Structure 1
Amino acid sequence: MSEPGLVLDGVSAAYRSATVLHEVDLTVRRGELLVVLGPSGAGKSTVLRVVAGLEPVTGGRIRIAGRDVTGDRPGRRNVSMVFQSYALFPHLSVAENIAFGLEVRDTPRAVARERARVAAESVGCAALLDRRPGQLSGGERQRVALARALVREPDVFLLDEPLSNLDLALRVEMRAELRALHDRVGATMVHVTHDQTEALVLADRIAVLRDGRIEQVGTPDEIWRTPASTFVARFVGSPAMNLLPADGPVRPAGSPPPGAPVTESGRLDLGFRPEAVTLGGADAAGTPATVERVDVVGEDAYAYLRLAGGEPVVARVPAARRPDRGAAVRLTVRWADVHVFHAGSGRRYAP
């Protein structure tokens, strides 16, 4: 069995007196595209910076391709990092920007330029080699930054929110290109983002980070279908998953999970996504609610409801059958679509 591409073993890091990473354990398989997902301040960029050697660790070890690099300076780690700001040299051509890292390591210029050309072709910017960064669009600059990282043939690529400066349409395009690039080169990549859609589309696996701690690591399907905590359940999904006390007003249809003490006050919370909610008229079966507002997004509509006890619920319904604002409705949810969490810890319920 081959060595993992990257291992963080109990890694902690601090900024001044504040601990930013708390004994993080994370293994990235060789050739895997792992996305680190979390809100601002979760420690996502710090993960990349300690791997790259740009920030020191206060505890734990880091291994890259089987080598312990914890004490190595950045130049000895054989990683490439793509930043949110692209960080291109404005006075150099695209070809010179891509080849720069090779030339400062005394690679013969002809060899460096040829490798730069091959890297540029791989990311679709070979026609731009004679231009300067100021002559490029945001998407073109991003391709150049990727080519510059690719040309070094590193053990690990570190991508720090590289798509966040692009407009939505270009982000979608570059997302697909980045995934295709990974599949072509088979490189080990760690991609940081706060964008859940980006994570779900790009990742082989996702590591959800919260306050410097790993909440859950899993495939996009596992993160979506079996969130390990209420934090993951509500962070991944827009609008967020509905969350109500198990002894509250909503009584799901069907049979609850075996052994779940769902009627005991304060013990458990129930989570269900907006698409799991079925709405009926005021005379239908189910829990009564009032429609406070409706947002239409193409073929879908999101109805923001208020239950009699004041609890909010969001339902996704076809736009053509959306209820009116102020309408009295009744909602139903099936147990098959419900996630059960411990109310105190927020962790997923396990019988």
Structure 2
Amino acid sequence: MTRSGLKLSGVSAAYRDTPVLHHLDLEVNQGELLVVLGPSGAGKSTLLRVVAGLQAATTGRVLIGGRDVTALRPGRRNVSMVFQSYALFPHLTALDNITFGLEVRDMPRKAARERAAAAAATVGCAHLLDRRPGQLSGGERQRVALARALVREPDLFLLDEPLSNLDLELRTETRGELKALHARLGVTTVHVTHDQTEALVLADRLAVLRDGRLEQLGTPDEIWRTPATVFVARFVGSPAMNLLPADGPLTPDGAPAARPPGHRIGFRPEAVRLGDVGTPAAVERVDVVGEDAYAYLRLAGDGPVITARVPSASRPFPGEPVRAAVRWADVHVFDGDGRRVTGA
């Protein structure tokens, strides 16, 4: 069995008097890249701060590499954290920023600089070492911050939305670099984000957080294909999963004759088929995104609106009557509490 790189056992935390994390149990395997995904206010950054020792847990224990660090100061946890703002000293060069943590721990200057140069080469910023943060782009500052984290040779990396300040093209490029870097180094990593694409691309496993509670933990494929709750089903996916009452206007092909009251069915936009059979609908809006189009359909006259993903070349047009059908095999069923019903 893989030794745990990080384990949270019954961890709670509060901001002033407001509870943020609620008896959270979470285990990250050694060498794993776990992405924590959730909306603003879910408790993602608080989780990182508790692990790093920057904020005390009100209950529970934090273990890193099997060692209980709950009562240890941040400097004794051997954790490196990359902040959303990068937190570089503006008056220091990139090299001095990278070596700062080593030198305050009394590492000889020559040895610190040799290690810094190696870390900078690993993340592709060796040519920037004589520049100050104000002379660097956002992507370059992010690389320096990663080198500063890497140079400590930590047991655990904590990344707090490190890509959020980058433009779309650079964010996509840097995502790939982060994934490759983790594959080379194999350091246990917890990466926090609200960006579902980033989470699905990077994660070995994905933890979906809501209001300080764990909604679901699994591989990206498991989260996508078998969402445990309505929240996960709606939060992961763009456009979001369609949700309808189980006894509503659309009856999927092959659905059982009787469906429990209070249950809801969910299906992704790509599961909707437009053709000559199915539930009557009217096209309210169509959004074209390259080869794909997203048609927003009003079911059965004044019924609910669902989204269908169709090829843009064969898309319907607003006002056009269509028929929408879904296979029962593509449907998820959720009970009255919003939990997925297995075997439905």
Fold match by TM threshold 0.5: yes
Identity among equivalent pairs (%)? 75
Q: Distance in 2 between matches of 1:264 and 1:209?
A: 29
Tell me which amino acid in the other structure corresponds to 2:63: R
Q: CA deviation at 1:71?
A: 0.8
Q: Which residue of 1 aligns with 2:293?
A: 301
Answering whether residue 341 of structure 2 is matched by residue 341 of structure 1, we say no
Residue by residue, what CA displacement relative to the aligned partner does 1:173-202 show, whole Å, maximum 9, x if unpaired? 000000000000000000000000000000
Structure-to-structure mapping, 1:151-190, within 5 angstroms: 151-190=151-190
Is the alpha carbon distance of 1:173 and 1:262 closer, same or farther for their aligned partners in structure 2, counting shifts above 3 Å? farther
Within 5 Å, give how 1:76-155 maps onto structure 2: 76-155=76-155
1:210-258: per-residue Cα shift (whole Å, max 9, x none)? 00000000000000000000100010000000000111111111255xx
Equivalent residues of 1:246, 1:262 under 8 A apart: no
Q: CA deviation at 1:144?
A: 0.5
Q: Which structure 2 residues correspond to residues 20-39 of structure 1 after superposition, within 5 A? A: 20-39=20-39
Q: Deviations over 1:267-318 (max 9, x none)?
A: x1110000000112xxx21001111100000000000111124211000000
Structure 2: unaligned runs, 5 residues or longer: none
Task: Give, in angstroms, the shift of residue 336 of structure 1.
Answer: 1.1
Distance between the aligned counterparts of 1:285 and 1:67, measured in 2?
61
1:238 aligns with 238
Instruction: Give 1:264's match in structure 2, choosing from 249, 260, 266.
Output: 260
1:204, 1:19 → 2: CA distance? 29
Residue matched to 2:44: 44
Runs of 4+ in 1 over 2 A off after TM superposition: 261-265
Question: For the structure 1 residues 57 and 262, does the alpha-carbon distance in structure 2 shift closer, same or farther, using more than 3 Å as the test?
Answer: farther
Hey, what's the Cα distance between the residues in 1 that align with 2:211 and 2:150? Answer: 31
Give the AA of the match of 2:303. G
Contact (CA 8 Å) 1:304, 1:313: kept in 2 or not?
A: yes
Q: What is the aligned-residue RMSD (CA, Å)?
A: 1.1
SS across alignment from 1:293? strand
Q: Which residue identity does 1:106 align to in structure 2?
A: D
2:309 to 313, 316, 322: 316
Q: Structure 1: how far apart are the matches of 2:292 and 2:66?
A: 49
Distance 1:253 1:118, change over 3 A: same
> Whole-Å Cα distance in 2 between the matches of residues 264 and 174 of structure 1?
47
Q: Which runs of 5+ in 1 are unaligned?
A: none
Specify which of 296, 299, 319 is matched with residue 326 of structure 1: 319
In the other structure, the counterpart of 1:279 is 274
- TM-score (ref. length: structure 2): 0.98
What one-letter code is carried by the residue in structure 1 that aligns with 2:180?
A: A
Is contact 1:139–1:170 with CA below 8 Å preserved after alignment?
yes
Tell me, yes or no, if the aligned pair for 2:249 and 2:303 is still in contact at 8 Å.
Answer: no
CA distance in 1, matches of 2:246, 2:53: 47
- Please tell me the residue identity of whatever aligns with 2:24: V
Q: CA deviation at 1:262?
A: 4.7
Contact kept, 8 Å, 2:286 with 2:294, in 1: the verdict is yes
TM-score of the superposition, structure 1-length normalised? Answer: 0.96
Deviation at 1:17, TM superposition (A): 1.8
Instruction: Name the CA shift for 1:262/1:139 in 2 (closer, same or farther; >3 Å).
Output: farther
Q: Name the aligned partner's letter for residue 281 of structure 2.
A: A
Amino acid at match of 2:283: V
